[in-house]
Structures are given as C-alpha cells and as structure tokens.
Chains A and B, each alone.
Chain A
C-alpha cells in the first residue's frame, strides 16, 4: 500500500517536470535540453535557501524564478543569436552545471531534519506519506489549471500556434521570438519547481540529479499520450500527469522484479526511443500490408 502511495506521490512531483517538457516539446515543438540544467538548478536553489533557513514555499518560488532565467537564456540564444534550439539547450545545461555548484557551494546539500514543504504539512498532523501525496495533488492541480487557463488566452493561443506553424503566426502579426522565449521560460519554471519538490522529498539536492531528466519528461509525455490520448489540450494535460505516474509505476515494478537501479536510465532511453519511433513503425507495418499512406507512392 505504501509503495502504491509513494509511487503516485513521486509520479505527481515528477509530473510537474513532465508538464514543463510538454510545453517545450509538444506546444513549442522544441527538444529543449536546458531541462537537464534547470531541474537541478531548481533543486539547488531551493536546498540552498532552505539550508539558510528560508521558508520552503519561498524557496520553491525562488527555484521557479531561477528556472525562468535558465529558460530565458536558452530562448535568447535560440531567437536572438540564431543558435539551433538543441544546441542552445545544451549550452544552458552545461553552463548551469557550474552555476549549480556555485549555488550550493558543494556537490550536494542534505535537507535531513530541515523544514521542508512536507515537514510543514506533517506538523498539521499528516503522516509524511500523506503529506507528500497531498502536496503533489495540490501543486499539480494548481499548475494544470493555470496551464489550461493560460494556453486558452490570446497569448497562450499564439504560443501554441508558434509551435505548429511559425510562418502562419508571424503572418498574423505575432513576434515569434517573444512566443518562443515565453514558452521556454514557462516550461523551465515548471521543471525547476519539480526539481525543488523532488529535492525536498529526497532530503537532498545533488549536482548530478539532472542527468536523464529530459528523457524522463519525454517518457512521461509519450506514455501519457499513448495510453490516455491527446484529443484536446485539457485531455493532454491530464494524460501527461497520468503518464508520469505510470512511468514511476513501471520503474517501481522493474526494481521490485530485481532490476539494478543502475540499469534504469538505459531502460528509460530504450522506452523513449521505441515510443518515438512508434508512428514510423506503424506506417511501415501498414505499408507492408499494402494499406499504408505511403504505400501508393
């Protein structure tokens, strides 16, 4: 029972990362690797502040702000300096590695025994387990609701259109530099928030905790879309959150079956590679049967 609850809780905390990746990868149509730097950045900022006695919520807010700056750097390099998005993200990621070490002053900070978001809720009489679950539900509900609202506004609509067809939206008078920048800022804010939440749950922030986060985010997005559909924006948001929980369940299951934790990243990478090639493979199989869209060409 407790494994189920902790899996769901972890899935929720990580789903904030997945929602951030959804903004860059699906809405903006950019594979943004800054995530690998902004996730530990969020963790580092939150941990360093909590270590200095800051209120946990304020620490999370500061983490979000730091994530925004990270996303803005990638966005500015991509739009103003015309550096390809993938490379701009890698530069941010690498640069942030040093920044994260500076922020923490060392390779990791332990939060054991300190005041975290969850310990604050425990003081209200909840068990640690329920506290994390409640915090996860609350945070994800607020973020998903805000995203649903924002991407339905005029500005949000123009960001979605930018990811789909930048030429079209420029012809409608929108500065795509601004929309891309804004999307990267928002996506990385969520990623950093996720880092801050995870660090408090783990009881530490570590400079290496960003490795593979982009793949975890992609896995959650894709698993969610495959299992729960992407008919509408609202549907996609729910699917991504559920996808993150399913991903955590898969991890918990294979660990339980005796897989070495060291092999998890390989498993995730293979999963994402398979999922990303799914559309192509479907087409190939259909074509082999003589009914595919490309078969006639």
Chain B
C-alpha cells in the first residue's frame, strides 16, 4: 500500500547546517498495516511522514515513494492529498478555524476531486456529516454551523481525524496527533483512532512519543534514530512486546544507551 524505497532527505544541503534527516530509508506497508513509529527528538519521524505526504521533495537520486502502486515521488503535496489522510500535532493545523464545521467537512469530502462552481454546501450532504459526527460521540452533530475555532483542541483533532478518513484514503498519516492534548482527551482521541482505523481497515502510520501507546496500538512498530529505522517489529514479536523488551532491543541495536537519547520518550 505504501512503499518507500531508499529515500533520503537532507536539509540545508551543502551548507554548514547540512542535516541528513532521512538516511536511505526503505519500508513497505501492506494493506491494513497499522504501524506505530517512535524515536527520540530529531530522529526523522516527522520528516518521513512529510516526505510521504509531499510537503517537500526528497533528495534526488534513486529514492522512490509509491502509494497504492503509484509512483508519487514527483507529485506535489496537493496532488498526493487524494491518497492520503493526515492529522497534525497542532490541533490548529488540520482545520480552518474561521469556517463552519460543515464547510470544513465539505472540503474534506471533496479532497482530490475537481472543484467547480457548484454550491459548496448542498443540503443533501448534511445527513451524511451528521451520521459521521455522531460516531465520534462528542455531540458535534449538533454544531455543524459552529465555526471550528470555537471547538476545543480535542474536538478539533477528532474533526481533523474524521476529515482525514471521510473518503477512506489508501493511507493515513498521524504525526503525534494527541501530543498537544490533555491526557484524558488524548486517550479519547486515541480510542477514536483505533476505532476508525479498524472499522475502515486503513493502512496507517502513527508517530507517537508514548511508548505504551506505540506498543499497545497497531500491528507493527518501527523505531527511528538519526534518520534510520533501527527497529521494525511485526506479528508475534509486536504482539508480545513490552516496554522492557523494547528497551532491550533498543540497547542492542543502538550505539547509545537508552537514557541518553530516548529518555524523552515517555514510558
């Protein structure tokens, strides 16, 4: 479903600030894979997701990115958007605050479609939006005409998540989408994430700083360090994973001790 082949990304190439954020990364996700991604600050997790989403071009050369069999390496961000649902860390980034909930959903319902001079808010779509909002169980189905800026951070993340999957995309990218929320709200949004991903059988990459969540969720876990994937566990290995085992695996493959680099990961 997603195939990343030998992709590198260097920021500020050829300057003293040169930074290799992705170092020849290859990874393949099967349809329905739910992969959690962990790693210390600056490990390259966000760069990986942004490279897949097309936020910036990757280094030239043999690096290739395929979604659903299509080579998207050279596609602009807005062209790939039709294949990708995204939720960002900052709840402000996923929605247009000054527009109504209804308008945000309408834009998401048209993702990747050719926009025309048809009225953007046909009355016939209201029932569909209400039904999907009701599934979030946050009472938002009554607030279709509210400006999204009036919603709480957690509600906005839930809405962004819904917008991301409204068209059942081939690929869902979540970049620490609960990191800015209080623990209770984060819990709720994670629950929704699991529910939505499994109901729609979505192929998903989810970055998290929380090791427990990374272990508890999904069917595969990847750990990144210095632009490389240093751990990739799936199947039974992933099912039986514990924090202790993960730390052990980390110390085996990494030249650093756990506390030095990864202490920022919360157990």
Contact = CB atoms under 8 A, between A and B. Distances in A.
B247 interface: no
Contacts of A164: 96-99
Contact of B78 (A150, A154, A170): A170
A168 interface: yes
Which secondary structure dominates where chain B touches chain A? loop
A176 B55 CA distance: 13
B93 A167 contact: yes
Given A156-B120, A157-B120, A164-B99, A172 B93 contact: no
Nearest to B82: A173
B39 to A, nearest CB: 23
A95 interface: no
A176 B78 contact: yes
A79 to B, nearest CB: 12
Interface stretch (B21-29, B66-74, B103-111, B195-203): B103-111
A152 interface: yes
A3 B185 CA distance: 60
Helix, strand, loop or mixed for chain A's interface?
helix
A155 B115 contact: yes
B153 interface: no
Given A161-B96, A161-B99, A164-B97, A172 B120 contact: no
Given A173-B78, A173-B82, A165 B111 contact: no
A227 B92 CA distance: 29
B202 to A, nearest CB: 16
B96 A165 contact: yes
B98 A173 contact: no
B63 interface: no
A153 interface: yes
Contact of A152 (B77, B84, B121): B121
A169 B96 contact: yes
A175 B93 CA distance: 17
Interface in A153-195: 153-158, 160-161, 164-165, 167-176
B198 to A, nearest CB: 23
B81 interface: yes
B189 interface: no
Given A168-B93, A170-B81, A173-B82, A157 B107 contact: yes
Given A153-B117, A154-B120, A172-B107, A160 B53 contact: no
Given A152-B120, A154-B110, A161-B99, A174 B115 contact: yes
Contact of B76 (A155, A158, A165, A175): A175
Contact of B110 (A160, A168, A172): A172
Contacts, number: 85
A159 to B, nearest CB: 10
A257 B87 CA distance: 58
Contact of A165 (B78, B81, B93, B121): B93
Contacts of A167: 88, 93
Contacts of B118: 153-154
Residue from A153, A169, A171 whose CB has the most chain B CB atoms within 10 Å:
A171
B53 A153 contact: no
A176 B81 CA distance: 13
Nearest to B164: A171
B94 interface: yes
Given A165-B96, A170-B77, A174-B78, A154 B108 contact: no
Contact of B81 (A152, A157, A160, A171): A171
Contacts of B92: 165
B116 interface: yes
B115 A154 contact: yes
List the 5 closest pairs (A to B, CB-CB), nearest first.
Answer: A173-B81, A154-B115, A164-B96, A157-B120, A173-B112
Interface of A: 150, 152-158, 160-161, 164-165, 167-176
21 contacts: A154-B115, A154-B117, A155-B115, A155-B116, A157-B103, A157-B106, A161-B96, A165-B93, A165-B96, A165-B97, A168-B95, A169-B107, A172-B81, A172-B108, A172-B111, A172-B163, A173-B78, A173-B82, A173-B113, A174-B115, A175-B78
